[in-house]
Amino acid sequence: MTLTGDTHSKTIGYILWLFGFTGAHRFYYGKPVTGTIWFFTLGLLGIGWLIDLFLIPSMDRQADLRFQPGVVNYSVAWILLTFLGLFGIHRMYMGKWFTGLLYLCTLGLLGIGYLYDYWTLNDQITIVNRST
């Protein structure tokens, strides 16, 4: 039996949408492929970015159904990744102290680990939430 709940916040989604030309809101909602496309095309030259303004409620519902609620809050982890990710604070928040300290000493493994976490953070949180 899978529990469903409000794992992602529309408010955070819309705040990240303000930086949507970077794909931040798409990464947040678990869409790393289109997030990467948005990043390299500036939100499909702004057109996809504007369309996403209306798609955020459906992306939020899909994320709530797909990801596991639990002790680690998705929004907090994403805010920590976005603003302090190079220092590994989001990893420490999830209880991954070793890699968090490693990120702290290497600036997110020279940025590569930071980018990796943009692709995988939702799944990492789901695994932690399932195991607790």
CB 71 within 8 A of CB 8: no
List, for residues 47-60, the tens digit of each pLDDT value. 999 999 999 999 99
Distance from the Cα of residue 90 to its chain's centroid: 11
Q: What pLDDT score was predicted for residue 2?
A: 45
pLDDT for 132 equals 79
Q: With a cut of 80, say whether residue 116 has pLDDT above it.
A: yes
Residue 4 has pLDDT above 80, yes or no: no
pLDDT of residue 120: 97
Give dist(CA 97, CA 32) in Å, integer: 25
d(CA 96, CA 76): 15
Q: CA 100, CA 108: separation in Å to the nearest integer? A: 8
Does residue 117 register a pLDDT over 80?
yes
What percentage of the chain has pLDDT greater than the value 90? 92
The predicted pLDDT at position 1 comes to 38
* Nearest CA-CA partner of 8 in 52, 49, 43, 59: 59
Percent of the chain with pLDDT over 70: 97
Domain boundaries, the chain: 1-67, 70-132
